């Protein structure tokens, strides 16, 4: 009987030891992401408590195509998906990664845009308010965007091809005193109007630079874009009111635009050209995409009917950290005016330009 009792006790002991082994609480080894970054980021942060990774990227970054520059996690862990430096990841929505040691740990990787720095005051160009005007000394039908007492340097800031159409009593660049964005004594605005001159389209355009030779038979002129400027503004702010017409004059390669609503635009170029760029539409034009001298570029397009001024902010994207030599703000009542395509009577009012830094 004694032997039977001892045997039973031994069995109970074995059973007890086996149960303890099955219920043994193992040592916790957290699986953590220890480093994560993407190319071009502003910063990245890792939150161990909530198991999150957040990368902060500049405003406007394509979140669907971010290139991983670094990714590390606990060496003993296994990941449910492969991520590696050089791989492209889509963070337009949060991405989850499960890392497993003894237990699974779910991490969430997401991207956010950096808060832009507040704009600051900085250097401006003469008459960006478009308040100052006078008449051309040789043609009183031509409005010039400078005051009567302007210096030679101030007179050289804004140019146009107004003389080519004023001969026919069809000005394209005009002072506007009745319809302004900001009311007050002495306030004026810029009015650009697209004209039909002998069945040739002439878009209203004011730009930084000067007009060169006129070809009266082609109804065109050489334009020299750019005036000296070494600052790096972040944006151009202003007011616009666009009253477009249907496109009624076209030229290759835009014959398919006939009947469609006209567009107006304003763009900014910051370059290190060796001299102002000679524009001879349509043979000689700036290659906005590929010109290596373009340091900064921004553009706003007006493509709807407006009944009042609307404020706009044109952001300038910089392609290089070089210091500019020239700036060219270019405005047009018909965006395809360089190709003699647009709508007769399209009008673009502009007022109170200001560089933001």
Q: In the structure, what pLDDT confidence band is assigned to residue 15 with cuts at 50, 70 and 90? A: very low
Residue, of 7 and 165, whose pLDDT is higher: 165
pLDDT band of residue 264 (cuts 50, 70, 90) is very high
Residue intervals of the chain classified under CATH 2.60.120.890 are 134-356
Confidence of residue 282 (pLDDT cuts 50, 70, 90): confident
Over residues 229-251, the pLDDT tens digits come to 999 999 999 999 999 999 999 99
Angle at 152 between CA 147 and CA 156, to 5 degrees: 80
The owner of tokens 């407006």 is 306
Residues of the chain with CATH 2.60.40.2340: 33-113
The separation between CA 65 and the C-alpha centre of its own chain, rounded to angstroms, equals 18
Q: CB 333: neighbour CB atoms within 10 A?
A: 34
> What is the predicted pLDDT for the residue at 286?
96
What's the CATH superfamily of 134-356? BT2081, beta-jelly-roll domain (2.60.120.890)
pLDDT band at 219 (very low <50, low <70, confident <90, very high): low
Q: What is the pLDDT of residues 60-105, one digit of tens each?
A: 999 999 999 999 999 999 999 989 999 999 999 999 999 999 899 9
- Under DSSP, is residue 309 helix (H, G, I), strand (E, B) or coil? coil
Distance from chain centroid for Cα 240:
18
Taking only the tens place, the pLDDT of each residue in 287-339 is 999 999 999 999 999 999 999 999 999 999 999 999 999 999 999 999 999 99
pTM, 2 dp: 0.76
Task: Give the residue among 328, 300, 345, 304 at the shortest CA–CA distance from 202.
Answer: 345
The percentage of the chain sitting over the pLDDT mark of 70, rounded to a whole number, equals: 91
pLDDT at 4: 43
Q: What is the pLDDT of residue 166?
A: 81
pLDDT for res 7 = 42
Q: Which CATH number fits domain 33-113: 2.30.40.10, 2.60.40.10, 2.60.40.2340, 3.40.718.10?
A: 2.60.40.2340
Q: Evaluate if residue 2 carries a pLDDT over 60.
A: no
pLDDT digits (tens, 9 = 90+) for 25-60: 667 789 999 999 999 999 999 999 999 999 999 989
Rg (CA), the chain: 33
Is residue 281 helix, strand or coil?
Answer: coil
When pLDDT is cut at 50, 70 and 90, the band that residue 217 belongs to is low
* β-sheet with 189-193: strand ranges across: 173-176, 189-193, 347-356, 235-243, 310-315
Please give the structure tokens belonging to residue 304: 């709807």
């Amino acid at each position: 009987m004694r032997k039977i009792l001892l045997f039973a006790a031994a069995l109970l002991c074995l059973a007890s030891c086996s149960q303890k082994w099955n219920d043994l609480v193992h040592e916790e080894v957290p699986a953590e992401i220890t480093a994560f970054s993407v190319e071009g980021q502003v910063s990245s942060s890792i939150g161990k408590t909530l198991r999150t990774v957040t990368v902060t990227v500049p405003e406007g970054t394509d979140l669907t195509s971010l290139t991983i520059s670094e990714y590390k996690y606990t060496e003993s862990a296994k990941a449910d998906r492969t991520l590696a430096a050089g791989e492209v990841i889509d963070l337009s929505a949060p991405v989850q990664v499960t890392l497993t040691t003894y237990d699974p740990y779910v991490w969430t990787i997401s991207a956010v845009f950096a808060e832009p720095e507040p704009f600051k005051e900085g250097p401006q160009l003469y008459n960006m308010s478009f308040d100052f005007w006078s008449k051309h000394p040789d043609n009183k039908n031509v409005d010039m965007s400078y005051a009567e007492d302007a210096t030679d340097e101030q007179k050289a800031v804004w140019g146009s091809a107004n003389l080519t159409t004023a001969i026919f009593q069809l000005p394209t660049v005009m002072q506007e005193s009745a319809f302004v964005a900001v009311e007050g004594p002495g306030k004026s605005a810029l009015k650009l109007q697209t004209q039909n001159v002998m069945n040739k389209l002439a878009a209203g355009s004011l730009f930084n630079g000067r007009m060169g030779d006129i070809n009266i038979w082609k109804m065109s002129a050489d334009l020299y874009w750019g005036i000296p400027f070494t600052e790096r503004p972040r944006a151009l702010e202003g007011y616009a009111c666009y009253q477009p017409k249907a496109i009624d004059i076209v030229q290759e390669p835009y014959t398919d635009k006939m009947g469609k609503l006209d567009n107006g635009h304003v763009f900014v170029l910051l370059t290190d050209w060796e001299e102002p760029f000679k524009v001879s539409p349509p043979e000689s034009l700036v290659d906005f995409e590929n010109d290596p001298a373009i340091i900064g570029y921004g553009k706003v397009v007006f493509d709807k009917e407006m009944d009042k001024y609307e404020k706009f902010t044109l952001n300038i994207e910089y392609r290089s950290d070089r210091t500019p030599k020239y700036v060219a703000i270019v405005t047009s009542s018909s965006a395809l005016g360089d190709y003699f395509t647009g709508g007769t009577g399209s009008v673009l009012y502009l007022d109170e330009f200001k560089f933001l830094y």
